Amino acid sequence: MRDRLLAEEITELKQYRLGEAGDDNEFIVPLQELLLSENLAAFLSKVQVKMNAPDLLVAASMFAKRYGFFAALSLYSMTVLNKRLATSLDNVSLDVNEEGDIWLPTFIFSDLKVELPEANNRNEWRETAIGAIFKENINPVIDQLAKVTKVSKQILWENVAIYIFWFYERMLEEHTEDEVVKRIRDDFSYVVEEASGELFGEYRSNPLKKFYREKVSVPGSEQEVRIRTTCCLYYKTNEEQAKCISCPLQYKKCN
């Protein structure tokens, strides 16, 4: 059933980089255009400069980390609001306004109408939502990033996965309503463990599952950390070669 987002729901989604079309949107990139190799290479060249990346491969990894917000945005709408966004590539554009020191693009939807689950049929509705988010949107972008730059798909998928884990764990901390908490727990388990590989693309198994590891104690951190299985290459973007707190190169003994 078609519905719309309420004003307060739009405000909530802006926390996860939902953008709005306006006269000040000078740097809009339709996602569909990034599926063309020459367009993606040109776009990544700009990302390379903005992120101080040494090459397009590292730029692709840094972009994928920011693209993880698209997963969080879409899953917030699905899980917390119980409303499915229209996430097809031809409905979404990137606002890559370069103001500020931290480059975080926002996502603009041409059509912000949403779909509600039918009564007693949420599981099927959720399956459709996951396929639309991952197989039809995120996976083609990952495929093209890997094709153009030769960056490992494992790195790209883990870059997206870490935001999904962060998002659901944050939601479990923030929400107390029984119905919402149950949806968060159920959807979290489904997305990262139970959903079949075919909902993410041409995969035999769920590409997120392998990255969902237990958090461990590490030196220098008061909180437990989920150590990544791949390095995102962030250290190549700064002179100090500082690594992420979850970088496997930094905590080999914790693996």
Q: Quick one: pLDDT band at residue 101, thresholds 50, 70, 90? A: low
pTM greater than 0.75 (yes/no): yes
- C-alpha distances in angstroms, 247 versus 17, 47, 73, 220, 242? 25, 22, 24, 13, 10
Residue 115: strand pairing partners? 2, 84
Instruction: Name the residue ranges covered by the structural domains of the chain.
Output: 2-212, 213-255
Of 3.10.20, 1.10.510, 1.10.540, 1.20.120, the CATH number of 2-212 is 1.10.510
Strand partners, 92: 109
Whole-number pLDDT of residue 253: 42
116 has a pLDDT exceeding 60: yes
List, in sequence order, the alpha helices (H) in the chain: 7-14, 37-51, 56-79, 122-130, 139-149, 153-174, 178-189
Enter the tokens of residue 132. Answer: 């639309």
Burial class (CB in 10 A: 0-12, 13-18, 19+), 238: exposed
pLDDT per position as a tens digit, 187-220: 999 999 999 999 999 999 999 999 999 999 988 8
Could you report the per-residue pLDDT of 152-168, keeping only the tens digit for each? 999 999 999 999 999 99
